[in-house]
Amino acid sequence: MNVAIIGGTGYGAVELLRFLYNHPHVTVSKIISHSNSGTPFSEVYPHLVNLIDTEMESLDISTLAEEVDLVFFATPSNVSKNYIPELIDKGIKCIDLSGDFRLKDGEQYRNYYGEKMAPEKYIEKAVYGLSEVNKKAIENALLIANPGCYPTATTLGLIPVLSHNLADYQNIVIDAKTGTTGAGRSLSQGFHFSEMQENFKAYKLGIHKHIPEIEQVLSDTANEDIQVTFTPHVVPMTRGIMSTIYVNLKERQSTKQLLDLYKEFYKDKPFVRVREEGIIPQTKEVYGSNFCDIGLYADERTGKLIIVSVIDNLVKGASGQAIQNMNIMNGWDEATGINQLPIYP
């Protein structure tokens, strides 16, 4: 199958290429770049010299639709919504790593993304690509809204306990940390080495675009409006997200009981690893891999469940999950091309 990647020189794109290079059913026939068309990919990323020397091209949607079967958008917010409708109308599958098609509510989209949402008709067609939860819908989708990085770690951590109605749906507190690749490759002052090194900062309190996304997924799970307290932080590491989540349990439960429930929930899901009692996962344990690792501690003293969920933001949080979704859409084994061990140390 021929695929194209748009947003060629970004981190999401280079991570897609790392996995697709060895994918048995896929050829990346086009890498589209608005800033570097005409330049060989390996000139921008020299670690890929002699491996991916493809000349990048500028975007021409009509020729793209004739030449490829599926398009990955690894572009910033408010870009893919201008192109995906035309591709979808021509029957081309699209997987959008950005947030343009994730939210169902136009007013929320405007509030958090600052622009008008894509036309309703296409929002309705978009399937939210949380692979472990929406597999059936993904199988038949033409358009995937690939989840955000924080929402992936957070909702995979929360859905089992919420879907069993064991926790208070309100008063959910999410304390999340990301590495700097979460901000993409373009330069900004707050991410300079001297600003980031030996620093730890909270940002976008109350205004982060992942708040409505997390609330939408959890509300769909619980069939009730859920609001969360979400505080993202950036820490001086390259990759990784840790979402530490606090919920009030409705009744006393032991850690062991809850771990059993989580293991049952994810028993056929190759990329979610529920860890043993007393083991709390670390970001380095999923580095470079598509795993989401979850650890639990039920604090019987306070009645709270503490959930720790870790992913690599560029893999399960973006490109890995996008490929997992492509596999599901095409009826291939969902682990094809992404079944790699984490890099350690």
Ligand X SMILES: CC(=O)N[C@@H](CCC(=O)OP(=O)(O)O)C(=O)O
The answer for 301, left when phi > 0, alpha when psi is -120 to 50, beta otherwise, is: alpha
Stretch that binds ligand NDP, among 182-190, 218-226, 259-267, 268-276 (CB under 6 A): 182-190
Of 36, 131, 244, 290, the one binding ligand NDP (CB under 6 A) is: 36
Sheet holding 93-96, edge to edge: 27-32, 2-6, 70-73, 93-96, 143-145, 126-128
Map tokens 């349990």 to a residue: 249
Stretch that binds ligand NDP, among 28-36, 107-115, 128-136, 272-280 (CB under 6 A): 28-36
How many helices (H) and strands (E) the chain has is answered by: 12, 13
- Residue closer to ligand X by CB (options 99, 295) is 99
Residue nearest to ligand NDP (CB): 10
> For residue 309, which of 246, 218, 265, 243 has the smallest C-alpha distance?
243
- Pick the binder of ligand NDP from 85, 157, 182, 232 (CB under 6 A): 182
Q: Which residue in the block uniquely carries the two structure tokens 């859409």?
A: 329
Residue 321 exposed, middle or buried by CB count within 10 Å (0-12, 13-18, 19+): buried
Kindly list the distances between the CA atom of residue 291 and the CA atoms of 65, 92, 203, 266, 340, in Å, as whole numbers in the listed order. Answer: 32, 28, 26, 12, 9
Catalytic, 292? Answer: no
Q: Determine, following the binding rule CB under 6 A, whether residue 330 of this chain makes contact with ligand NDP.
A: no
> Which of ligand NDP, ligand X, none does 234 bind, CB closer than 5 to 8 A by kind?
ligand X
Question: Which range binds ligand X by CB under 6 A, 162-170, 176-184, 297-305, 319-327?
Answer: 176-184
Cα–Cα distance between 123 and 116 in angstroms, integer? 12
The residues in 193-252 that bind ligand NDP, with binding defined as CB under 6 A, are: none
Distance from C-alpha of 52 to C-alpha of 270, rounded to nearest angstrom: 29
Contact with ligand X (CB under 6 A): which of 23, 81, 177, 209?
A: 209
Interface residue with ligand NDP, options 317, 323, 325, 337 (CB under 6 A): 317
Contact mark string toward ligand X, 113..132, x via CB under 6 A: --------------------
Q: Which of 92, 138, 149, 234 binds ligand NDP (CB under 6 A)?
A: 149
Angle between helices 149-163 and 255-265 (to 10 degrees): 110
Closer residue to ligand X in complex, CB, 165/186: 186
Catalytic machinery residues? 149
Q: Which residues bind ligand NDP (CB under 6 A)?
A: 7-13, 33-36, 74-77, 79, 97-98, 148-149, 181-182, 184-186, 313-314, 317-318
Q: Which residues bind ligand X (CB under 6 A)?
A: 77, 98-99, 148-149, 178, 182-183, 209, 232, 234
